[in-house]
């Protein structure tokens, strides 16, 4: 069955009738997002080096340390 022959729901054309959310958990991540989580899309060529959120956060923390050190240097050295 190709994408053109799949039946779409009337109320939401982006949803297919075949989707089953009967075992879904409502508001599973809502508390985390309310606390300030950010969603970032990582390009495929980068994701091979950063397979999960821990590796991304570690790399960004390292960069923030470098940036902080550079800001302490005189502008003539930057």
Domain map (residue ranges) of the chain: 44-78
- 30/36 Cα distance (integer angstroms): 10
Q: What is the full per-residue pLDDT of the chain (78 aa) written as tens digits?
A: 444 556 666 777 787 878 888 898 989 888 888 887 777 888 999 998 998 889 999 999 999 889 888 888 666 655
Do residues 21 and 28 make contact, with C-beta atoms less than 8 angstroms apart?
no
- 9/55 Cα distance (integer angstroms): 39
- 73/33 Cα distance (integer angstroms): 37
The model carries a pTM of: 0.47
């Amino acid at each position: 069955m190709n994408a053109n022959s799949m039946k779409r729901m009337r109320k939401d054309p982006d949803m297919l009738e075949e989707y089953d959310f009967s075992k879904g958990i409502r508001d599973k991540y809502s508390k985390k997002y309310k606390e300030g989580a950010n969603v970032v899309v990582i390009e495929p060529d980068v994701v091979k080096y950063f397979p999960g959120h821990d590796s991304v956060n570690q790399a960004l923390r390292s960069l923030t340390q470098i940036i902080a050190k550079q800001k302490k240097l005189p502008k003539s050295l930057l």
